[in-house]
Chain A
């Protein structure tokens, strides 16, 4: 099936979950705009309750938006559900959703039938998927005996069994061991090579950096930024961090005062053991900080470049584990 130029298009999408009676409800998505070109692996990064799963569910046609527009492959997710469902595959996170008393093969046979496969075509497709996720040898074992990682791989196979053009992966590596997670990244690469579009929600920064062409940061139902992982990192290259080690304890307070006076220094604080951390918010501030530290006789100095996690924390803020309403 030929895909529209943009595999996913979301305009001013809003979803409010109403409480009981007269409660105003919670906006899980608020005026969200997002375009994902066909063939892109797109990451959706955000804390719990940010709206990632809500967006996935709306695109998967299992949740209706309150207002706004969303389409997949050029098909409206509200009015053209049948057309959308023919081209998507979805993997929700967690262990639920599998028939644990059936074998892996029986699970996949059922889901393959749900995509209209039958007979020899169905069997070949199921065998191919079992091989692709490395479960061929356990194909005829009941799923209830599987590890969490194996179940997650089976979830992946279920999502891909219909040969979808757009794959929605909602935290697909939850519970996978590092080896399986690495294989998953390879699998996503293969999906990209096949020309499929992937929307991947994750908490794992390394995963998003490793597999995504672009990443969207989401929090409180609003999209904060959409960029390539490297570009997002460059955003806060101005927020470089300089760590000084082995600073004599009696000099720490004085040095902190001096460093705060350097233009472009956003914050200075003591770190254990016997060190100082300097955060800058201007591109050329870090060299000045380093020079000052060296001139002050502090020779153990290190700078670090931000990874996606730091971008994430800078933009989302440091509200820890709190789930906002």
Chain B
């Protein structure tokens, strides 16, 4: 627990001084405006919740991909992974704390998106089912952090991180149904998308913005949490293997 808290506090302090790591939060409201321009000029005011939610989910995923995903590699390039591994702390706890901090801060994208819609278009997207929305948001953050822990362990062993990162963005925006619900995509995509937590999250979050009751809320939240927990588990195993491999190859301190 100490390692988790220490990693969290440390990352918050670091991000306060390195806002460039969260640059996506600058572009997220601009994306909201682009999506809203399209839906408003098409006369589809009913799609406003989609246009507001999508940039926030994209920001969440992008920050996980490019900031959380690079946490271990960042330590390695900074020359601090070596001394970190040499301490008695559970390194998985520290990295998880850092990822949680990044993920929580990336939730600011939701507030930005809502504010941009209101400030520029005067559109207020009501959160009709606030409890469901809040629960989905927490579950989504948890699952995002779990997925990011897999990314960070994989990326530290990769020689072409950028290629991986770029290839993991747009395909997942589609598979995650962040703008277009998976139900509207070709049928063969659905089985694939159902193993991506983002598709469940996007659906629950969108449902909580509509007047109709949110059906099967607990079960759907359970799926999101289970996918997140799987991510954490796989991430920790991969992290252990990655550190062992770096110790074996003697590349733990290489930039």
Interface residues of A (CB under 8 A from B): 15, 17-18, 54, 57, 60-64, 82, 85-86, 88, 90, 92, 94, 96-99, 101-102, 106, 110-111, 113-116, 118, 142, 158-159, 162
Contacts and interface: CB of A to CB of B under 8 A. Distances in A.
Contacts of A98: 80
Interface in B68-114: 78-80, 82-89, 94
Contact of A88 (B3, B9, B86): B86
B2 interface: yes
B250 A17 contact: yes
Contacts of A18: 249
Interface of B: 2-3, 5-6, 9-10, 13-14, 17-18, 78-80, 82-89, 94, 247-250, 252-253, 255
B44 to A, nearest CB: 45
Given A97-B80, A99-B80, A101-B17, A62 B2 contact: no
A61 B252 CA distance: 11
Closest 7 CB pairs of A and B: A96-B79, A113-B6, A101-B17, A97-B79, A114-B87, A85-B88, A114-B89
Nearest to B248: A64
Contact of A102 (B2, B14, B79, B252): B14
23 contacts: A18-B249, A57-B82, A57-B253, A60-B86, A62-B85, A63-B252, A64-B247, A85-B86, A86-B88, A88-B86, A92-B82, A92-B83, A96-B79, A97-B79, A97-B80, A97-B83, A111-B83, A113-B2, A113-B6, A114-B87, A115-B89, A116-B89, A159-B83
A114 B82 contact: no
B80 A102 contact: no
A81 B247 CA distance: 12
A118 B253 contact: no
A63 B17 CA distance: 32
Contacts of A159: 83
